[in-house]
Structure 1
Amino acid sequence: MSYDNILYDTDGRVATVTLNRPEKLNALSNELRGEMFHALKAAEADAGIAVVIIKGAGRAFSAGYDLQPSPDPNHPHTNDWTGLPDTGTTHPQHYDWSRHAVMGNFIIWELAKPVIGQIHGYCLAGATELASACDLRIIADDCQVGYPPVRAMGTMDAMWAPWHLPQAKAREFAYLGDPHSGADMYRWGWANYALPADDLDEFTMEFAQRMGHIDNHLLMYSKRSVNRAYEIQGYKTAMISG
């Protein structure tokens, strides 16, 4: 299937979803998010795919949520709630806005296959939530990661910082949202690897290809086991309490 806001490619057992609105620094519109989730579900259903990479075209991973109104409410992937987990609290169509954002990212959490976030340039606001939802993060050491909206608009939609950062830094993110380098985010444990931006594509693909040698079912069981361990500690409840 063709998409308007993302690119979907496969290389062996690795699928790559590229956020493709470079003129908007890959701002996360409803259309883009819908297409991204559709592509992730397609990769999940493809027995030939073992792992998925999410990355951004152009100068940034993503500058965060697109705050402009959806230009086309009839777009085939706008407000497509297929695959959202049942929280038992409300009908999926009522998740807008922050619940829509958070519950959408749970699709990545629940996906049967590992997802790697390949992060460069800028990863701001809602993009930090998307990246944090990925199983693994590989980041350019000069990337800027921050959440500026907490200074004027509201709290994080998904409260990821306390789960991924030391407490003092989690509080700094929640209170100020100042951007920090990819090297710092690696040092604080948010990213698995930090390296020069020019090496990011090759390193991430080689890393994903290594995972691709593992049986799909074994990867699925490993991911599910790790997920459940965090869920017992209240991970999902924390994410929707922003």
Structure 2
Amino acid sequence: MSEAPIGVFDSGVGGTSIWKEIHKLLPRERTIYLADSKNAPYGEKSQQQILELSIKNTELLMEMGCKLIVVACNTATTNAILYLRTHYGLPFIGIEPAIKPAALNSISKVVGVLATKGTLSSSLFHSTTENHANGIKLIEQEGTGLVPLVESGNIDSKETETLLRKYIDPMLDQGMDHLVLGCTHYPYLVPVLQKIMPEGVKIIDSGEAVARQVKAILEKNAMLNTATSHKGHRFYTNIDPKVLRNFVSGVAPDIRVEKLDF
């Protein structure tokens, strides 16, 4: 299984922020990425719909021979990963908002969380906050409208900046010194966030931690790819592949981006 690919899926292009961290840490691993952009954003769907989409993506990646699956979507993780781990016989790595490091390092004891409705309303998110946010004022903000802007590649627009200011300014007014990004699309908004926030506010996402966890699980199961030859990366989207291609082109050798109906 060591030369089998790592599978990654998300509700669109956002999970490529996680994929980039995995590739940076594990450059010998080949990967298969599913961008389910046709059904984005997951965060506005019911838990049952999210579960069904996660099952569909999982079974497709298993058919493609993946040895491990990264659920590169906060909403899918919080709503479906327990089911996936119970019903399928391979390792799953999920994405959770990095509440713990933000809470531990906050000086003002005010932490903002920018996430989708599906993540903020999940039981897993609430248990995470209960375990790690004692003594912290946690400001939860739904990032409605942000995923479609990233999906369209419309990141540096006035519309994006205006929407982010609407969400971020009230958090800053309450003394926020750490902002947790609770959606894998949101790291692509960091340049705009840095533009509108004071330098002292730290932005935290889960990408590096997820990559380290992938490496740890592969090592534990003796599944690290030790081959010297590189067989490349395959990216599939169920809409026009142009935007996905823009997010990943030039990052690694042998990248293929194709449309696939799934």
Structure possessing the higher relative contact order (Cα contacts under 8 Å, 6 or more residues apart): 2
TM-score by length of 1: 0.30
* Greater Rg by CA: 2
TM-score by length of 2: 0.28
